[in-house]
Amino acid sequence: MEMLANLPGKGLVRIEIQEKRIASLQILGPLDGEKPYVSPGLIDIQLNGYAGINFCDAGLDPTKAPEILSALWKTGVTTFCPTVITNTQEGLLQCFRALEEARRIDSRFANCAPCYHLEGPYISPGGSRGAHNPKVMRPPDWAEFMELQKAAGGRIGIVTLAPELPGAMEFIRRAREACLVVSMGHTDATPAQIHQGAEAGAQLNTHLGNGCPQMIDRHQTPIWAQLALRQLAASMICDGFHLPPDLVQVIHRMKGIDGCVLITDAVHVAGLAPGRYKLVDLDIELLPTGQVVMADRHSMAGSAVSMNRAVKVFMDYAGVTLEEAIQAATANPSRLLDRFETCCEVREGEPANLILFRVDADKLEIEKTILGGETVYASAEC
């Protein structure tokens, strides 16, 4: 396969694909306004579900789970981390067993979902809990986690936890020794506890600016510490609801573009009609505006945004270039998932997981999604 497209920041390029990889890349000249852009496929490291498929449902039908792929490919996502949130141990085990069975059933699902993200149950039951059930939250327990890891085939690659919980520091150290990405989130920690978590090996802040109390001390807050520590990358939900433009700009300026990671935190109601739904055992509501909230309005409850929309919101809010926004949705999360092969950049030798797109007023308009050199989605215009 050979294609001509505009590579953000580089110009018009010719790409040759052979045996599922980028075989050659040649820069031909300046941008050609008639051609679409090309980039790696978008990478979403925090995806609870989409288009009715709910990874957090202990009753998830593994034969149905791969149905999520066609919906995600339309949004340009070629790699994602199925994310499972706070639940009972048995509920979590069932989720991971279903995901593993889905991998066995569908090789494309296995290729697109290289690892899983466990968000909770080791998080704070306080004001930062969000749409997680405090009744089944608990302190980190390595033996319990290893039971989950066994059910997940060793593919839990990211764990979000609150560093203030008993045993959290030892858990972080052991997780890093096991090459897991440790992220701090849904936390009521003191600044000192955030610093301790980073020193123990945490690498990421989960949806920074969210999963925190509504009211905080002006100085003694975990947010300042999370912003200040440059070794902690920051994931962000840029959906127009979770973060205001000023905060997106502050996070970008503090972390630099290398420390920004775009996520959707989408739940299964994304792409469905407005109405009331269940998330684990809690009632949530998808509003006509596209915002997802707890039915009691305690907090938001994930999002309904797509990654191709999040990239454009990040561009608009942070004032970054297309090249920088794409980096936050591809190269940066790929770097975090270091031990799982992903397409990091459009360059020779990388897996041929690519998208062709144009930029419109509110999103990246995906024209084609390519997975391992095979076109898995093409718009009607192509």
User: Which are the contacts of 135, defined by CB distance < 8 A and separation ≥ 6?
Assistant: none
What pLDDT, on a 0 to 100 scale, did the predictor assign at position 281? 87
Contact at 8 Å (CB) between 353 and 343?
yes
CA distance 240 to 154: 35
- How far is residue 269's CA from residue 276's CA, in Å, rounded to a whole number? 9
Helix ranges, the chain (H)? 68-74, 89-105, 107-112, 142-151, 168-177, 191-200, 222-228, 245-255, 307-318, 322-329, 331-336
Task: Classify burial at 166, counting beta carbons within 10 Å of its beta carbon; exposed 0-12, middle 13-18, buried 19 or more.
Answer: exposed
Instruction: Please state the domain extents for the chain.
Output: 41-344
Cα 29 to the center of its chain, rounded Å: 34
Please return the burial class of 349, using the count of CB atoms within 10 Å of its CB with bins 0-12, 13-18 and 19+.
exposed
Tell me which H or E stretch contains 304: none
Helix pair 142-151, 168-177: axis angle to 10 deg? 40
Number of continuous H segments (helices) and E segments (strands) in the chain: 11, 20
Q: What is the pLDDT of residue 241?
A: 97
From first to last of its 382 residues, what are the pLDDT tens digits of the chain?
999 999 999 999 999 999 999 999 999 999 999 999 999 999 999 999 999 999 999 999 999 999 999 999 999 999 999 999 999 999 999 999 999 999 999 999 999 999 999 999 999 999 899 999 999 999 999 999 999 999 999 999 999 999 999 999 999 999 999 999 999 999 999 999 999 999 999 999 999 999 988 888 899 999 999 999 999 999 999 999 999 999 999 999 999 999 999 999 999 999 999 999 999 988 999 999 999 999 999 899 999 999 999 999 999 999 999 999 999 999 999 999 999 999 999 999 999 999 999 999 999 999 999 999 999 999 987 6
Q: The dihedral of CA 303, 305, 311, 316: what is its sign?
A: negative
CATH number of the domain located at residue range(s) 41-344 in this protein: 3.20.20.140
CB-based contact 351:19 (threshold 8 Å): no
Output the pLDDT for position 381: 76
Q: How far apart are CA 286 and CA 275, in angstroms?
A: 5
How far apart CA 73 and CA 375 sit, in angstroms, is 10
What the block records as the tokens of 130 is 């969000």
8 Å CB contact between 292 and 274: no
Strand (E) or helix (H) holding 88 = none
Q: How far apart are CA 174 and CA 357, in angstroms?
A: 41
Percentages (nearest 5) of helix, strand, coil residues in the chain: 30, 30, 40
CB distance 348 to 14 below 8 Å: no
Q: What is the b/e burial string over 278-302, where b = at least 16 CB atoms within 10 angstroms of the residue's CB?
A: ebbebebbbeeeebbbbeeeebbbb
